Amino acid sequence: MPEDSLTPLIEGSNLAGLIRAIDGICARREWEELIELRDRCDEAVKRGKQLWAVSQFAEYRLALEAPAELAASVMTDGRGRFSLGPLWEVAASKHEWAELEPYLEVPTIRALTGHERSIQGDSVAEDDIDTSILEIPVGIQSWEPSYPTAKYTSDRATFPDDIFDIEMTWTDLGEPIEAQPDDEVSDALLALVQPWWEDSQGKAEVATVDSTIEDAIRVLGPHRVRIADVSLQTALEAMAWAGASGGGHGRRRGTPVGRAGAWWVLLELLGYDDVPEDASGLGEEADGIRWALWDPGDRVGGWNLHIGIEDPDDGVAWVLSAVDAV
């Protein structure tokens, strides 16, 4: 787009016109032109023009659609604060590891991108990234599920939650019993959804009991709930889905962060202070642990995670109830 056609749009803070201009530039794949538009909007912001959203949308489209080198140029700390998702996750949803890897210099961004590409099916070597960033193996273990990933398009993002489309059974709960103090498992569960109340308008609570999942739910208040036992894999999917999000209004953290949060729930449950050198047997170690998804009966949308864990051998159960509105 010629410069003189951009000037009135920028000086008039014409957001709709600038968004249409971005769409046209992307359709022509004129990436240097898009960078120029971004830079001119950034300059206008310094003069008081309210064009920061246009600048961020231009960077989102660069991450999503531009060649890997240009996509990587916007994948730096601090960029994309109000984008549909972290720009490294946006770029990794459309570019393979071999394309992006040569251009990723920031250790945190490189590690997160490597983990995301591994989740997406790429082979990423442990020595390709700084493994201390997330502290868990970059390779997906045989006992892990296929994690739900964000889907990014030119104008929207979706975060699949069909893991919750399971048949549940209504269950009447008994009389409340005494709750136990929160412990490391409780803390790890709450950490999954910390942005929901810190950066958004949600709430979360946990309960620990020397009993069953049903008794732990009763401690939180409900008299009757829907509940379904699920596999370790489904529980990990649900926890990763929640841990990846920012809730209704917080900043999305990305699937690798959600996966790491789910791992730490499992590690605390199994009594580990650190990730074992050989993590291939964790799934077998968790055999016998009961996992359940439950629902207070009024789940009507938004961000919700209701999960229960029960260790029958030790007679301990934990539940998390977390909600946030869109």
Q: Is residue 266 one of the residues assigned to a domain?
A: yes
Domain boundary among 45, 66, 87: 66
Per-residue pLDDT of the chain (326 residues; tens, 9 = 90+): 455 788 999 999 999 999 999 999 999 999 999 999 999 999 999 999 999 999 999 999 999 999 999 999 999 866 666 778 999 999 999 999 999 999 999 999 999 999 999 999 999 999 999 999 999 999 999 999 999 999 999 989 999 888 889 999 999 999 999 999 999 999 999 999 999 998 888 999 999 999 999 999 999 999 999 999 999 999 999 999 999 999 888 889 999 999 999 999 999 999 999 999 999 999 999 999 999 999 988 655 678 999 999 999 999 999 999 999 76
Domain boundary among 34, 66, 98: 66
Q: What amino acid is encoded at 99 in this protein?
A: E
**Does 165 share its domain with 62?**
no
Q: Is residue 61 one of the residues assigned to a domain?
A: yes
Q: Is residue 223 one of the residues assigned to a domain?
A: yes
**Does 182 share its domain with 61?**
no
What is the distance between the alpha carbons of residues 147 and 140, in angstroms, rounded to a whole number?
10
Q: Is residue 131 one of the residues assigned to a domain?
A: no
Question: Which positions ≥6 away from 148 have C-beta within 8 Å?
Answer: 159, 160, 161, 162, 163, 237, 240, 241, 255
Q: Which pTM does this prediction carry?
A: 0.94
**Does 38 share its domain with 163?**
no
Q: Give residue 169's domain range.
A: 158-324
Domain boundary among 24, 49, 66: 66
Q: Is residue 125 one of the residues assigned to a domain?
A: no
245 and 154 Cβ atoms separated by less than 8 Å = no
Strands (E), 231-302: 290-295
181 and 208 Cβ atoms separated by less than 8 Å = yes
Q: Is 163 helix (H, G, I), strand (E, B) or coil?
A: helix
Domain count, the chain: 2
What is the distance between the alpha carbons of residues 251 and 276, in angstroms, rounded to a whole number?
31
Q: For the chain, give the number of residues.
A: 326
Q: Looking up tokens 């590409």, which residue turns up?
A: 117
